[in-house]
Structure 1
Amino acid sequence: MKRRDAISALLALNIPEDIAMDFPHLPSDTEALLVYGSRARGDATPDSDVDILALVSNPRTTTYSGVVNVSFYTTQGLATGIGTLFGSHLKRDSKIVWDQHGRLSRALKSMGEVDTDRLFNRAKNMSTLFTNLDHDIPKYLPGLLRQARYLLRSCLYAQSIAVGKPCFSVRELAIRHQDHHLTQLLASRQLDKPRIAELTECLSWLRRLLGEFPVSENGSLEATIVNEWGRPSDTLSMAFMALGATGNGSDYAEVEKILL
């Protein structure tokens, strides 16, 4: 698909021209594209990101251009989304704009259902990362807050599925929970400096959803990585991302994009 065709597809989704023009050039092995998130649902605000998934033969890191984010997945990589919130989100809220061989359409149909009980159990295990805050906050507040937001967003999405009213919009979640501040608290793109008060609020929400967090035996984020190294786990992946070590210039392999 040529860049001009991709831009035309974005314009057809009522994405403003000045935003669509930020669309980057695609690698030659791209065979399918979809738009997901608020731009696909039609409930975007003027400053909302444009989230795009590109199906490719060779894995790559995500490309950012203005507010246009293009994540690259192989067929095998996308298969890791089966049974996950991300897979359910794509299946429910995305719009395919190009699918050369039909593989992306078939992948979406195979995403299956989310086992919300299993997700909540996994989320509770991940919450051990937030039990040594006195040690970790001074150095890792931005990463801890980013991961707390991710976990809270995931748990609220899962809760909506569990009660039979699936929702992947933070604005809709704020309305449902009658808490307008949730929209800002859960937003993926944050412009303000991280604050401890926001982390405290996220963790308070998580405790309401998950109960008290299991106490970590590791003592710190760094110790978690050392002690969990060699036995890949959700906790290890979350610790990497809280430290910001996700493959961009680090000595560690990039963690999977899909966790929950």
Structure 2
Amino acid sequence: MAKQDEFERILQVAINELELNAEEKASLFERIAQETIGLMIYGSRARGDHIASSDFDLLRLSRFPFSTFKIDRVSVSSYSPEQLMSANRTLFGTHILRDGRIIFDPHGELARILNTLKPADPKDLLDTVRRYSIILNQPFEEKLAYTSGLVRLARYMLRTAVYAKAMIAGAPCFSVRELAERFEDPMLATLLASDPQIVEVPSIELLDELTGRLINIIGPLPINNYGSISGIAVSAWESDRNLAALAVRATSEDKATLSYTDLPKVLL
């Protein structure tokens, strides 16, 4: 009991060092005080290129899987050791290796897992994005019915493709503002943003813009012989569960942006 109390005290100190308000700190500690064996911050808040509305992206290591949750500006993705180890050679693993900063790791387990991870192969990422992009090749009626979900998916795929493009150029980068400067394309800062206060309202025009830019990187979208998004989900459920899960997510009314930590814990 005394050891657990000490771990919680150290965790509280780590949370207090984050630039959160008092309510966010209290709510976060209440949610993760138990079962947390490691905590790290990644993304713009870890890089230091955030803006005022940027989320605090936290990765929580726990013995058992827990659902992702959000408290105001704080987004927490929980991983078991096995789930985090599966981030080897994935986009998410590459992201946290480059931009992550451990803030709580009393047993050193989080650091040990991170030391085993290797970066993703950008060509493999592009091949995977190309395969999944079949979901975007839909009749107009499907695009009209599921505009929000398809825009989320198109943004996610384009962001992944641009990340891979930067990796191929020899300098991995996960800051959309830096990517916009690097590729001399100011629109990328808005098109790829995940901040709800920055992203454009979903529309067919925005979907076409995102899809067109994606095609410029990966080539033509795969031919869709399934006729609909649900057709892809049903047909791929046994053969490619990730593809089916993305198709299901594309029909969701959830307004949240799609992250590569969502379906499954590590997708690319």
- TM-score, scaled relative to structure 2: 0.86
Q: Which residue of 2 aligns with 1:175?
A: 181
Indicate how the Cα distance of structure 1 residues 132 and 23 shifts in structure 2: closer, same or farther if over 3 A, else same: same
Q: Which runs of 5+ in 2 are unaligned?
A: 1-7, 255-261
Q: Is the 8 A contact 1:22 1:65 kept in 2?
A: no
Q: CA shift at 1:20, angstroms?
A: 5.2
Indicate how the Cα distance of structure 1 residues 134 and 110 shifts in structure 2: closer, same or farther if over 3 A, else same: same
Indicate how the Cα distance of structure 1 residues 19 and 186 shifts in structure 2: closer, same or farther if over 3 A, else same: farther
Q: Which residue of 2 aligns with 1:250?
A: none
- How many aligned positions are there? 249
Q: CA shift at 1:200, angstroms?
A: 1.2
* Aligned-partner Cα distance in 2 for 1:214–1:232: 15
Q: CA shift at 1:23, angstroms?
A: 5.0
Which one of the candidate residues 23, 31, 36 is aligned to 2:37?
Answer: 31
Taking the TM superposition and a 5 Å limit, the aligned residue runs for 1:99-114 are: 99-114=105-120
* Aligned-partner Cα distance in 1 for 2:63–2:251: 30
Give the secondary-structure state (helix, strand or coil) at the position aligned to 2:17: helix
Q: Is the 8 A contact 1:33 1:55 kept in 2?
A: yes
Identity %: 35
Q: Is the 8 A contact 1:22 1:68 kept in 2?
A: no
Give the secondary-structure state (helix, strand or coil) at the position aligned to 1:159: helix
Q: CA shift at 1:47, angstroms?
A: 0.8
Give the secondary-structure state (helix, strand or coil) at the position aligned to 1:31: strand
For the aligned residues, what is the CA RMSD?
A: 2.0
**Does structure 1 residue 150 correspond to structure 2 residue 165?**
no
* Aligned-partner Cα distance in 2 for 1:96–1:133: 45
Give the secondary-structure state (helix, strand or coil) at the position aligned to 1:44: coil
Q: Which runs of 5+ in 1 are unaligned?
A: 247-253
Moved more, 1-10 or 133-142: 1-10
Indicate how the Cα distance of structure 1 residues 155 and 19 shifts in structure 2: closer, same or farther if over 3 A, else same: farther
Q: Is the 8 A contact 2:148 2:253 kept in 1?
A: no
Taking the TM superposition and a 5 Å limit, the aligned residue runs for 1:213-252 are: 213-244=221-252
Q: Which residue of 1 aligns with 2:257?
A: none
Q: CA shift at 1:139, angstroms?
A: 2.0
* Aligned-partner Cα distance in 2 for 1:169–1:133: 33
Taking the TM superposition and a 5 Å limit, the aligned residue runs for 1:1-260 are: 1-2=8-9, 4-10=12-18, 15-17=19-21, 21=25, 23-24=27-28, 25=30, 26-191=32-197, 192-244=200-252, 255-260=263-268
Q: Is the 8 A contact 2:24 2:71 kept in 1?
A: no
Give the secondary-structure state (helix, strand or coil) at the position aligned to 1:35: strand
Indicate how the Cα distance of structure 1 residues 201 and 102 shifts in structure 2: closer, same or farther if over 3 A, else same: same
- TM-score, scaled relative to structure 1: 0.89
Q: Is the 8 A contact 1:19 1:67 kept in 2?
A: no
